A and B are shown apart, each in its own frame.
Chain A
Amino acid sequence: MATPTVNLPGLTRRRLLVICGILAGTLAVTSLVSLSLGAVSIPVWQVLTAMIKWVMGAQDSIPSEYRLILFEIRGPRIVLGMLVGAALAVAGASFQALLRNPLADPYVLGVSSGAALGAIVILIIGRPAEPFLPLAAFLGAGATIAVVYWLGQKAGQLESNTLLLAGVITASFLSAVIMFLMTTLSGRELRGAAFWLMGDLSTPSPLWLLWLFGVLLVGAVGFVYGVAADLNVLLAGEREATHLGVDVARTKTLVYLCASLMTGLAVSASGSIGYVGLLVPHLVRLLFSSDYRVLIPSSALLGAMLIVLADTLARTVVAPTELPVGAVTAIAGAPLFIYLLRKRSMG
């Protein structure tokens, strides 16, 4: 029997590498520009020279003011932004598959608020921030998604609109609880708590925390990437996925834990930055592919890039003061959410 020729849009290793290469390149350029911009602007070639010297170990030959700005102020902040952006974007893509809902996002579903509540409780009971704060944020994220998942069911079926509504209501409820708790805080702590509500990268993070964050993030993204093909099938429906050989319960548990961990990490480091988890996976679907084997790594890279970009805007547009980065992402993300919602309800 002659095999009919078809030109199917196949995913090849080369295509995957090209996509990731493009995104990684864009991320590198964005980071370079971000390093050079600020209250003191440093020419890009100076930034490059300094970075090469730093990598070569010749740190003493870098002018001291550049060294301070690049490697102790802007550098860690950019790295943190990348980690937060990647975590939120992959968490968003994961929640979209887990809940079979294209509008799922840690912020919209209230997961970020849950994580913020966990973090604020730690602030209030006065425990040391590390390691309790990220842990509480993770638990808050996990508990919230469990509640939203439960509320979003109708007669045992996960119903798309009910789920979104459950998420929005949960987010609003948790924000109210957070507001209530904030009245008990003193002035200095209040500033810290406000930070959880809007999302902010300006608080410097210790280096070891960045490392821990990075390692956990790579692990979580790796686990989700390992079941990326299963997620493609899972989107078509859980019973169908079972018939196509996917262990649905195991896959969902794994993705649920990883997505909650990523959200918890991001929120504990930067407060609740909204809409990244919604915006980034949709951009990737639009630009490249909706195959989760492309979507997971691309979302990580594009999410990192967008947060670095948003944070650069946040700290330069109204200099010398700063916007919270969450305000920037919300201004871009909320209209997109409305657009997607309307497009879906009309389609």
Chain B
Amino acid sequence: MNPFGRMANASREAGPKEKDDGSGGSSGVRLPDAAMADLSVAHGGMAVPGELRVEVMLASFAFPQFTLQPLSFTLRSGEVLAILGPNASGKSTLLGLLSGILPPLSGQVRLDGREMSGLDLRRRAQRVAVVQQESPLLFPVLVADYVLQGRHPHLRPLQLETEADYDAVARALEATSAAHLRHRWMQGLSGGEKQRVILARALAQQPEVLLLDEPTLHLDIGAQVDLLRLVRSLAARENYAVAVVTHELNLAAEFADRILLMHRGRMVRLGPPAEVFERELLEEVFETELDVLVHPATGRPRVVLRSEEITDEGGGKTPLS
């Protein structure tokens, strides 16, 4: 059950490559066209043990200036899926589709078999929680009251919160190690504390699916690691299906079970970090010179900026190149 138990083997030298059903089509593909991405990588490389939660089936979306090409994948309970890609590659649009606020132009996004954007807003909020960059708070609000807002979808109009709601808030604050902040004002928190409280509000919704839009933005490295480690362990313990949009390649490689790589509105790769972190692929997607290393302890891939000296020395430290 514990996703930690299944360790991705990142390096081809480090050990035999883990091969699961459905991953074959994706290996060796360089920036495939939409159809390839849709059909061949639909199940992204590995059988995640959890229950099927969200199915994205050839879903697409179009803004006047931007088109998200049809793509397909699934999100299972207990897994952490990281959505990576450069700016304007379609990550946030994809998150909009996953959360149901954007109805797909074609195809479907389903939550347990039912069309996501067609669900009643309140019922959807009981099952899908979204953490995103917070709008500025114009009125002072206490942490406890803020987290209590997570109970809103569970209350009927005019119904006051009950003991069960306060218990859910207490557990959410406990799970995010934010219980000691409950009497503080939101405006007075540090970036890391605030992000934990925002996560606590999402947990208070007691959702099945947790969607995070750049949760580590503006956090220092320690707070970033804390937050993602927390998300990782919550997914395992509480069986959330988690999708995280992020710019932090290395944190994604460390904490995600699978990575979905976006480029110009297309899904170009889906799979465990070791499969997605190929040097040529990342260089093309991010349009910069990179090297992919392997973390000596975890075996997970790492991305570093290419250094002249390392390249000149013959790439001794760049086994994946």
Contact = CB atoms under 8 A, between A and B. Distances in A.
Interface string B112-125: 00000000011111
Contacts of A290: 139-141
Name which of A11, A233, A236 has the most chain B CB atoms within 10 A of its CB: A236
A101 B135 CA distance: 13
A17 to B, nearest CB: 12
Given A237-B135, A290-B141, A6 B124 contact: no
Given A226-B157, A290-B141, A244 B166 contact: no
Interface string A220-256: 0000011111101101111110111111000000000
Given A239-B132, A244-B153, A11 B160 contact: yes
A4 B179 contact: yes
Task: Say what secondary structure dominates the interface of chain B.
Answer: helix
Contacts of A13: 160
Interface in A28-84: none
A71 to B, nearest CB: 36
A247 B101 CA distance: 11
Interface string B169-192: 111011000010010000100000
B182 A8 contact: yes
B152 to A, nearest CB: 5
Contact of A6 (B155, B160, B166, B205): B166
B152 A229 contact: yes
Task: Say what secondary structure dominates the interface of chain A.
Answer: loop
A232 B170 contact: no
A6 B138 contact: no
A226 B158 CA distance: 6
B145 A291 contact: yes
B160 A244 contact: no
B157 A227 contact: yes
Contacts of A228: 158
Nearest to B174: A4
Name which of B123, B160, B187 has the most chain A CB atoms within 10 A of its CB: B160
B299 to A, nearest CB: 32
Contacts of B137: 236
A37 B244 CA distance: 67
Contact of B149 (A1, A12, A244): A244
A8 B150 contact: no
B99 interface: yes
Interface in A317-340: none
B138 A235 contact: yes
Contact of A160 (B128, B138, B170): B138
A13 B159 CA distance: 10
Given A247-B121, A291-B145, A6 B170 contact: yes
Interface string B297-321: 0000000000000000000000000
A154 B144 CA distance: 32
Given A4-B170, A244-B125, A237 B158 contact: no
B161 interface: yes
B126 interface: yes
B285 interface: no
Contacts of A226: 157-158
A10 B138 contact: no
B149 A236 contact: yes
A11 B121 CA distance: 25
A108 to B, nearest CB: 15
Interface residues of A, number: 41
A245 B145 contact: no
A160 B137 CA distance: 11
B170 A3 contact: yes
A232 to B, nearest CB: 7
B167 A9 contact: no
Nearest to B158: A226
Contact of A102 (B139, B166, B205): B139
A102 B170 CA distance: 29
Name which of B101, B125, B138, B145 has the most chain A CB atoms within 10 A of its CB: B138
Given A9-B144, A227-B157, A291-B145, A233 B152 contact: yes
Interface in B185-210: 187, 205
A240 B122 contact: no
Contact of B122 (A8, A232, A245): A245
Given A5-B170, A10-B166, A244-B152, A347 B182 contact: no
A227 B173 CA distance: 27
B203 to A, nearest CB: 13
Contacts of A227: 157
B129 interface: yes
A322 to B, nearest CB: 37
B166 A236 contact: no
A233 B170 CA distance: 19
Given A9-B144, A229-B158, A242-B101, A4 B166 contact: no
Interface in B55-110: 99, 101
B245 interface: no
Q: Considering the complex of A and B, which 6 residue pairs feature the smallest CB-CB distances, nearest first?
A: A237-B135, A245-B125, A245-B153, A245-B122, A243-B130, A6-B170
11 contacts: A4-B179, A8-B169, A9-B142, A230-B157, A232-B149, A235-B139, A236-B149, A237-B135, A240-B132, A242-B121, A243-B128
Given A226-B158, A236-B141, 18 more contacts: A4-B170, A4-B179, A5-B170, A9-B145, A11-B160, A11-B161, A13-B160, A160-B138, A228-B158, A236-B149, A239-B135, A243-B101, A243-B128, A244-B149, A245-B122, A245-B124, A245-B126, A245-B153
Interface of B: 99, 101, 121-126, 128-130, 132, 134-135, 137-142, 144-146, 148-150, 152-153, 155, 157-158, 160-161, 166-167, 169-171, 173-174, 179, 182, 187, 205
